[in-house]
Amino acid sequence: MAVALPEPLPFEQDIHELEERLAQLEATATGPEGLEAIRQMRRELLALKRERYAQLKPWDIILIARHRQRPQFRDYVDLIFDEFVELHGDRAFGDDRAIRTGFARLDGQKVMLIGHQKGKTLAERQQCYYGCAHPEGYRKALNKMKLAAKFRLPIICLIDTPGAFPGVGAEERGQAQWIATSILEMTRLPTPIICVVIGEGGSGGALGIGVGDRVAMLQYAYYSVISPEGCAGILWRVANEDTKARAAEALKLTAQDLLSLGVIDHIIPEPLGGAHRDPREAATALKAVLKRYLRELLPLTTETLLHQRYEKFRRMGLFSQSSTTPS
């Protein structure tokens, strides 16, 4: 049975055409000559992919992070965790479907899972507001984190949002306040917290569940104070292909940039071309990192855990300034 090819991104058109030709050849070729032609085309395709994905620009990485077929929170739950039991509601207003919470097991270790869900179908995306959470979503997440801390269960947060929902109702219900409250409370929760950006990491929407003892990113994810479109609109008054690409470059939002700046601790490798090309391989890499972090954090005392978390975030944003004076 032929495997459906992923939807090509703008910079992948030649790769997609070669993949289609290869699929046709695999379906029709016979004999030694046909097998040799298949091997040659596979080598050609692999070389092209390696060259292309080694030269990705920040805007290209954003397009991969936003790919419609990219694995989401529920995909990783199914691929990595066992016995997931979803917990609903914030006990005040409602159940925000953009943020999902629940108990689960990771190879026998009980954990609390928190994550953004964008949705796959149009109906689900509308229900999830495309992963843009309301105040009740952050309130739900914080309530469940406190529940986890009560039983000293480690917390795993999978971040994938373009940002918090910007509507009037969300602002009236205290969007900024609840994000700020969540950030504050996460700094002092007496249990291990692991945060991973699996797709988009947009502004306060990501930070609302992004304070942890370990913060990692998938290779083709991004994490930024503002979206490139928002940045371009502010700086150049227009968000077109040129200004979006310039903004993405200036924001230093790729995993490699953020690792060099000390914002994240680790880059989790993805399959060549992105997690959507092989979700199971991406999930295996993510699971290995989560298990390693749990082994490192679970033995620590609460005092040590909180001290290290505090120092980790206090170190961010340091800069040097020249002491030379003009002549």
Phi/psi at 110 (5° precision) = -70, 135
| CATH code of the domain covering residue 245 | 3.90.226.10
Instruction: With respect to residue 326, please indicate whether it lies within any of the assigned structural domains.
Output: no
pLDDT at 28 (0 to 100): 84
Q: What is the pTM of this model?
A: 0.90
Smallest CA-to-CA distance from 72 within 218, 268, 269 is with: 218
The 3-state DSSP class for residue 43 equals: helix
Instruction: With respect to residue 1, please indicate whether it lies within any of the assigned structural domains.
Output: no
Instruction: With respect to residue 320, please indicate whether it lies within any of the assigned structural domains.
Output: no
Q: Are residues 98 and 171 in the same domain?
A: yes
Q: Please state, in angstroms and rounded to a whole number, the distance separating the CA atoms of residues 9 and 7.
A: 7
Partnered with residue 85 across adjacent β-strands are 103
Partnered with residue 116 across adjacent β-strands are 99
Phi/psi at 115 (5° precision) = -170, 155
The average pLDDT across 188-215 equals 94
Tell me the residue range of the domain where 102 lies: 61-314
What is the CA 49 to chain-centroid distance, rounded? 22
323 band by pLDDT with thresholds 50, 70 and 90: low
How confident is the model over 203-232, as pLDDT tens digits?
A: 889 999 999 999 999 999 999 999 999 999
The average pLDDT across 167-176 equals 90
Q: How many CB atoms lie within 10 A of CB 112?
A: 24
- Its sign, for the CA torsion 224, 132, 186, 177, is positive
Mark 15-29 as b/e (b = at least 16 C-beta within 10 Å).
beebbeebeebeeee
In the block, residue with structure tokens 């030649």: 14
The DSSP 8-state label assigned to residue 81 in this structure reads -
Q: Are residues 42 and 120 in the same domain?
A: no
- Outline where 54-200 has alpha helix (H): 58-65, 73-80, 122-128, 135-150, 168-172, 175-187
Q: Are residues 85 and 234 in the same domain?
A: yes
How confident is the model over 93-124, as pLDDT tens digits?
A: 989 899 999 999 999 999 999 999 999 999 99
Residue 2 has pLDDT above 70, yes or no: no
Instruction: With respect to residue 115, please indicate whether it lies within any of the assigned structural domains.
Output: yes
Instruction: With respect to residue 105, please indicate whether it lies within any of the assigned structural domains.
Output: yes
pLDDT at 275 (0 to 100): 95
Q: Please state, in angstroms and rounded to a whole number, the distance separating the CA atoms of residues 327 and 311.
A: 39
Q: Are residues 28 and 100 in the same domain?
A: no
Smallest CA-to-CA distance from 195 within 209, 208, 185 is with: 209
pLDDT greater at residue 169 or residue 110? 110
How confident is the model over 139-161, as pLDDT tens digits?
A: 999 999 999 999 999 999 999 99
Instruction: With respect to residue 2, please indicate whether it lies within any of the assigned structural domains.
Output: no
pLDDT greater at residue 323 or residue 199? 199
pLDDT greater at residue 318 or residue 34? 34
Instruction: With respect to residue 137, please indicate whether it lies within any of the assigned structural domains.
Output: yes
The average pLDDT across 311-326 equals 75
- Over its C-alpha atoms, the chain yields an Rg (Å, rounded) of 21
Q: Are residues 109 and 212 in the same domain?
A: yes
Residue 31, sorted as left (phi over 0), alpha (psi -120 to 50) or beta, turns out to be left
Number of folded domains in the chain?
Answer: 2
In the block, residue with structure tokens 């030694």: 32
What proportion of the chain, given as a percentage, has pLDDT over 70? Answer: 96
pLDDT at 322 (0 to 100): 66
Residue 1 has pLDDT above 60, yes or no: no
The single-letter code of the amino acid at 304 is T
Q: Are residues 182 and 48 in the same domain?
A: no
Tell me the pLDDT of the chain averaged across its residues: 91
pLDDT at 326 (0 to 100): 55
Residue 320, sorted as left (phi over 0), alpha (psi -120 to 50) or beta, turns out to be beta
The 3-state DSSP class for residue 199 equals: strand
